[in-house]
Amino acid sequence: MTESVLRAQKKQMHKKDQKADEREEKERIKKRKDVENEKRERERERRKKDKKDSGDQDSTEDSRTISDEELEQSKKIYEKSHLKKYIQQAPEIIREFISSKHLPQGSPASDMYSLGMVLYQILFKLEPFYERNMQPKKIMERISLSSENDQIIRPTFPNQRNISNEEGYNLQLLSAIEACWLELPEMRPNIKRMKTMVNSNLKSTGSGSLVDQMMKMMEEYTTNLEQLVKERTQQLEEAQQQADRLLKNMLPTSVAEDLKAGRPVLPQYYSNTTVLFSDIRGFTRIASTSTPIQVVSFLNDLFSGFDAIIAKHDAYKVETIGDAYMIVSGVPRENGNAHVQHIADIGLKMRSFVSNFKLAHKPDEIMMVRIGFHSGPVAAGVVGLAAPRYCLFGDTVNFASRMESSGVANKIQ
């Protein structure tokens, strides 16, 4: 017999054994299921029997008639549990509730009345009116009486002779609690007074339980946080205002507002404008014989004067390059033909200002300015993202620059 035949026979025998094992396993599973089903069936029958027995007993009890006395007692129990929560309300609230059967909206004064009730329970660990054997409805009626009626009731303090030393709070606090229960709402103390009174008289405020200390710490933390937020908000507003001023110094106000609002600033064509250029005669010589700090200080003083002149006219300082100063009128706000007059007035005032200007480090130096301007159309727009600049383009700009460069010192052309 060959080896392949032997392997085939072994394989066939193995399959038979495997099938036999599977049949045995299925039989065991079936038997286990039958046992479980039988148990469930017995449990189901037992439950049905118990349910039937209890149903017969309930029907017997239900068939008994409830007496009038039991019904009245049930009503009293419900009324007591239902009305008990209202005995801590202020008299004016209870009156409205009794008359309309509707609980009205509270007020700060009525809240103070209820606060007195809460403090009473915290201090004495007793329910209000614990000593009175009265139904809640009757207590509510007595609470709602006017102060002139001798039947009016309020909670009473237990052991008043010993409370000052034994419990850690004094008669001043108890008087404040009694003030919370006054008939007239306007006579009751406010929350600030009660907070001060409680904090100064309750021992637990200083070093009480962990919860008391945590609550006090949270209150202090909240106060500090609110103050910190207020300070940071003020600093943010100041920084925002400073950034706005800087942006408006770099760009025209209308353009700056558009950029802040996220609106695109498109290039625009202006048909009626006047552009002015100016520079200082002999600036190169002055700069070569001065320190960098002196040059910066000199230009700052000079251009600050020019800026003050422009602020009084409808004009805009476009840019400064060294000692060169560029101004335009009619851009970005169009002003008809008034741009020529504005620029002419600015040029005359600039010349007068420079004539009287004295260098701090060269007081004998005679300052002279050269000015030129030209009227015509220009195109204007914002150039750049990192450091945006408002720039002018066109022949009018070139003509104005040539008028200045070809001009005579202390003259305007």
241-284 per-position pLDDT tens digit: 888 888 777 788 778 888 777 787 888 899 999 999 999 988 88
Q: Given this model, what pLDDT does residue 63 score?
A: 41
Close Cβ partners of 398 (under 8 Å, ≥ 6 residues apart): none
Answer for the pair 381, 267: CB distance below 8 angstroms, yes or no: yes
Contacts of 234 (CB under 8 A, 6+ apart): none
pTM of the predicted protein model: 0.46
pLDDT given for residue 255 in this prediction: 81
Owner of token pair 């000692």: 323
- What is the DSSP annotation of 83-101? HGGGTTS-HHHHHHHHHHS
Query: Helix, strand, coil shares of the chain as percentages rounded to 5?
Result: 60, 10, 30
**Does the pLDDT at position 165 exceed 50?**
no
Give kind and range of the element (H or E) at residue 269: strand 268-280
Stretch (H or E) spanning 179: helix 171-180
Q: What is the pLDDT of residue 207?
A: 55
Most confident of 61-65, 197-201, 312-316: 312-316
Going across the sheet that includes 316-321, the strands are 316-321, 324-329, 268-280, 369-383, 389-393
When pLDDT is averaged across residues 307-322 and rounded to a whole number, the result is: 90
CA nearest neighbour of 328 among 290, 293, 367, 376: 376
Rounded to the nearest integer, the mean pLDDT of the chain is 80
Tens-digit pLDDT profile for residues 288-314? 898 999 999 999 999 999 999 999 999
How many Å is the maximal CA-CA distance in the chain? 134
Q: Please report, rounded to a whole number, the percentage of residues in the chain having pLDDT higher than 70.
A: 80
pLDDT tens readout for residues 120-131: 888 888 888 888
* DSSP label at residue 325: E
Q: What are phi and psi of 31, to 5 degrees?
A: -60, -40
Q: Three-class SS of residue 330?
A: coil
pLDDT at 180: 92
User: Of 103 and 164, which is predicted with more confidence?
Assistant: 103
| Average of per-residue pLDDT across 225-252 | 86
- Among 5-9, 89-93, 154-158, the range scoring the smallest mean pLDDT is 5-9
- CA 102 and chain centroid, separation: 37
Residue 61 phi, psi dihedral angles, 5° rounding: -70, -40
Indicate the angle between helix axes 91-100 and 108-124, nearest 10 degrees.
Answer: 110
Q: What's the pLDDT at 6?
A: 62
Both tokens assigned to 145: 């009486």
pLDDT tens readout for residues 346-383: 999 999 999 998 888 888 888 899 999 999 999 998 88
pLDDT band with cut points at 50, 70 and 90 for residue 212: low
Q: How confident is the model at residue 387 (pLDDT cuts 50, 70, 90)?
A: confident
